[in-house]
Amino acid sequence: ETQSYLYYQTKKQQMSATRISTAPMHGYSVRFSPYFPHRLAMATCQHYGIAGCGELVVCEQHPKQGWQIHRRLAWPDGLFDLAWSEQHEAHVVTSSGDGSAQLWDLGLDATGPLKVFKEHTKEVYSIDWSQTRGESLFLTGSWDTTCKLWDPNSTSSLRTFAGHTGIVYSAMFAPRTPGVFASASGDGTVRTWDLRAPTSTMTITGHDGEVLSLDWNKYNDGMLVTGGVDALVRGFDLRSPGAPLFALSGHRYAIRRVRCSPHVEHLVATVSYDFTCRTWVVSPSRCIPRFVFEDHTEFVTGLDFSVHAPDLLVDCAWDASAVVRKLPLV
């Protein structure tokens, strides 16, 4: 009965989805603008990120034409992730396969970045901008097993965080606690960090294999949601991290990205190498699958909720497309 219900909702929701072609580039990450409800950006790669160049693809929603590509900004290597500045409406940072990060100003006609930040010795797979007021900082996570903290006004990192023994696939600032972030790694652990502490403040195990993604609950800085190659979504209470709060099953292959809704406390979305996007309702009293979207024909890698519209969700995939869809509110 559950499978039948989910399949029905999948077909129904396709009616309210808009597809954006990024061909010939393959999507890796997508983020809505925190400033403009009609704008989003994607980090993309040529040849699935294995070889070739990358593009920062900026899209805008028009009243009549819908979502359209507005600009394409090229970089010589693949772009794996991006984050919008919390201080400047036109600034975006991206991370690249050549070990660098780039700061772009979309308000300029320039075709290249304002600055390039190069210290990592391998691919930079994750980038995130601090959301707490008073901090103008961004964070990178790399295949060289380290995270680095950056001030956009300097091309030298402020600090390097070492401790993982595998690739850092994701590093995300806590949304409400200054100076705190978490990282997910190929060593099978999630670590939390405080900028005031010399080493990581907590190490969490709970997945069987690599941990590919994490996100913070936007209403509770003590709760992390993670996704791994074991195809499970797990939630952890940082006050008691020994055992997960929940483990959600449904995806058939590795979970590439997880996102917690900025509008609905118990709503979580995930995308996977099984070509699907799923949403879940997660609370102390219930953990249930909500919707399954089967809009892609390749690995789904990017995911984001809009901070402006409670019902907007976007994903992007290796099939050279992104899908913006409206969700029924939980």
Structural tokens at position 201: 């403040």
Mean pLDDT to the nearest integer, 250-274:
97
Q: Grade residue 6 by pLDDT with cuts at 50, 70 and 90.
A: very low
pLDDT at 2 exceeding the cut of 80:
no
CA angle at residue 296 from 171 to 59, to 5 degrees?
65
Distance, in Å, from the CA atom of 212 to the CA atom of 189, rounded to the nearest integer, reads 10
Mean pLDDT to the nearest integer, 269-275:
98
**Residues 15-25 pLDDT 10s:** 489 999 999 99
Which segments of 134-188 are extended strands (E)?
A: 138-142, 147-150, 159-161, 168-173, 180-185
> Which one, of 138, 103, 140, 137, lies nearest residue 121 by Cα?
140
Please give the pLDDT value at position 283.
Answer: 79
Structural tokens at position 27: 């999507």
Please give the pLDDT value at position 221.
Answer: 85
Q: Grade residue 181 by pLDDT with cuts at 50, 70 and 90.
A: very high
Q: Grade residue 330 by pLDDT with cuts at 50, 70 and 90.
A: low
**Residues 294-316 pLDDT 10s:** 999 999 999 999 999 999 999 99
Omega within 30 of 0 (cis) for the link into 113: no
- For tokens 């790694």, name the residue: 185
pLDDT at 109 exceeding the cut of 70:
yes
Structural tokens at position 273: 């190498």
Pairing of strands 255-260, 124-129: unpaired
Q: Grade residue 1 by pLDDT with cuts at 50, 70 and 90.
A: very low
CA atoms within 13 A on the CB side of 314: 29
What mean pLDDT, rounded, does the chain reach? 92
Please give the pLDDT value at position 81.
Answer: 98
**Residues 29-68 pLDDT 10s:** 999 999 999 999 999 999 999 999 999 999 999 998 899 9
Please give the pLDDT value at position 58.
Answer: 98
pTM of the model as a whole: 0.93
pLDDT at 3 exceeding the cut of 90:
no
Mean pLDDT to the nearest integer, 162-175:
97
What percent of the chain shows pLDDT beyond 90? 86
Please give the pLDDT value at position 13.
Answer: 45
Say whether 9 sits in a helix, a strand or coil. helix
Q: Grade residue 241 by pLDDT with cuts at 50, 70 and 90.
A: confident
Please give the pLDDT value at position 328.
Answer: 81
Please give the pLDDT value at position 32.
Answer: 98
